[in-house]
Structure 1
Amino acid sequence: MWEGIVFPLRFDVNGEIVEVAVTTLLNAGYAGRSQEDVAAHVAELAELGVPAPTHTPCLYPVAPYLAMQSAEVPVQHGRTSGEAEWALVVAGPDERDLLLTVACDHTDRALEVHGVAWSKQAGPDVLGERAWRLVDVADRIDELTLTAWAGGAQIQHGTLAELLTPQYWLDELRDRGLLQPGTVLLSGTIPMDAAVDQFADRWRVELGDPKTGATIACEYAVRRMPEPVE
């Protein structure tokens, strides 16, 4: 568990502000509901040079300070991109303290071919500033939608039925002793439209509830840092 300085995330939950100091940050990977489709995706990535995992789904621990709510993500080069995800936030000890929000896992694709865990550590997890209580949407979790735009073009769209459920990950966290206040878990992502350039200067992700028409969004600009002097 992270014991360094933490800066709390703030979520608007139906008008109530909930602060969470992140102590454990986890990124799920290869987390599709259909593990047959996941196996096919692993094979596709292997052709691009991305190392295949030995076990799916994966769970990558990430430095907690990489969980942020930001309008800008600085990057070192032009081959980074986001991913549409939902995030589970453990805000307290009770069931009503489990929050669901939108997230974008900004990943270094150049580094990804050397190690997925390294690439996750090289970029932030940007979370929305609003959240829903999981108990309020649990009865229709598979109907919720995820949509992402890269540079204004829609690059991802699907439902949470395509991914392993929050309950699956709650059970995993409980088994691992990680279901504690301050834990944040990102879900893994849905397929991208290969015809859209993912290396864009702006990303936006929305988590939508078709029943109510409500959405939660996170959006940020991608800013290239100056070249190093060495």
Structure 2
Amino acid sequence: MKIQCNGSMLEWEPTRLIIAGYTGKDQKVVQQHIDELKELGIPAPPRVPMIYDLSPQLMQVTDAITVVQNHSSGEAEAVLLDINGEWYVGLGSDHTDRVLEASSIQKSKQVCLKPISQQVWPLDAIRAYWDEIEMESWIIDSGVQHLYQRGTLGSFLDPDELFRILRERDYVSEGMAVFCGTLPLHSGTFQFGETFLATLRDPRTGSTIQLTYHIKQLKDAEEV
């Protein structure tokens, strides 16, 4: 996998993929999100934050993924990458099968590719003002772009606290990638479409990281 940072290209193959869920600093907001998901048929987690251990091969720099039916959707997340012993931050989408999610959250995540941005920033470059980094996402459905998520990384646990939890639960590995959590949905409900777009923006420098991918439907063998 080729990752770009400050004009340099880094070669990297992830050894572990961790999706951290329910990572909000404000527990009232976390509970609101849990209640929101329960209304959509997603069971409440047994503990928070939740740590989902997935196949690292799911994570790809790509502009398109394939799905069987139009009931999966993306979620913008900051992604921490351990590349050659140094930590970087990029942008990813925890694309998830929403039908399967009602019975198994981990399986619903495991069946979908996880697109990530090719561009990253050194974590140390933004660590002091992590909370200020802005994140947004949009869905394009039938050619119309809809705001899907908007907020800042200040909504989530900071990297050092997340690393502490991962060490405590014995999830730390060299060469790992960590999805840090996602923002509430702007409309309060899942939206499905043909394209997912997201950005990370550094308000101090104006630098942005962008992620765009298309969702292509495979022919469903069970449809008559």
Offset at 1:81? 0.5
Q: Does 1:16 align with 2:5?
A: no
> AA paired with 2:110?
Q
The residue matched to 1:187 in structure 2 has which SS?
strand
Write the distance in 2 (CA, Å) between the matches of 1:228 and 1:117.
25
Write the distance in 2 (CA, Å) between the matches of 1:194 and 1:176.
34
**Alignment of structure 1 residues 18-167 onto 2, 5 Å:** 18-93=10-85, 97-151=86-140, 152-167=145-160
Asked if the contact 1:10/1:17 (under 8 Å) is kept, the reply is: yes
Write the distance in 1 (CA, Å) between the matches of 2:84 and 2:28.
35
Offset at 1:31? 1.3
Offset at 1:173? 3.1
Q: 1:123 to 1:149 in 2, by over 3 A?
A: same
Gaps of 5+ in 2: none
Offset at 1:135? 0.5
Write the distance in 2 (CA, Å) between the matches of 1:91 and 1:10.
11
Gaps of 5+ in 1: 1-8
Provide the TM-score with structure 2 as the length reference.
0.92
Q: 1:120 to 1:170 in 2, by over 3 A?
A: same
Write the distance in 2 (CA, Å) between the matches of 1:226 and 1:55.
38
Write the distance in 2 (CA, Å) between the matches of 1:19 and 1:142.
28
For residues 37-65 of structure 1, the C-alpha deviation after alignment (integer angstroms, 9 at most, x for no partner) is: 21222123223221111101100011111
Write the distance in 2 (CA, Å) between the matches of 1:131 and 1:115.
31
The residue matched to 1:188 in structure 2 has which SS?
strand
Asked if the contact 1:89/1:100 (under 8 Å) is kept, the reply is: yes
Asked if the contact 1:153/1:196 (under 8 Å) is kept, the reply is: no
The residue matched to 1:161 in structure 2 has which SS?
helix
Provide the TM-score with structure 1 as the length reference.
0.90
Q: CA RMSD in A?
A: 1.7
Identify the residue that residue 227 of structure 1 maps to in structure 2. 220
Percent pairwise identity: 32
Q: Does 1:192 align with 2:185?
A: yes
Asked if the contact 1:92/1:180 (under 8 Å) is kept, the reply is: no
Write the distance in 2 (CA, Å) between the matches of 1:216 and 1:59.
25
Write the distance in 2 (CA, Å) between the matches of 1:31 and 1:195.
18
- The aligned length equals 219
Write the distance in 2 (CA, Å) between the matches of 1:159 and 1:142.
6
Q: Does 1:210 align with 2:203?
A: yes
The residue matched to 2:126 in structure 1 has which SS?
helix
Q: 1:44 to 1:195 in 2, by over 3 A?
A: closer
Offset at 1:176? 4.3
Write the distance in 1 (CA, Å) between the matches of 2:30 and 2:222.
41
Identify the residue that residue 5 of structure 1 maps to in structure 2. none
Offset at 1:35? 1.7
Offset at 1:187? 1.0
Write the distance in 1 (CA, Å) between the matches of 2:189 and 2:35.
21
Offset at 1:180? 3.4
For residues 70-116 of structure 1, the C-alpha deviation after alignment (integer angstroms, 9 at most, x for no partner) is: 110101111110001000001123xxx10000111111011111111
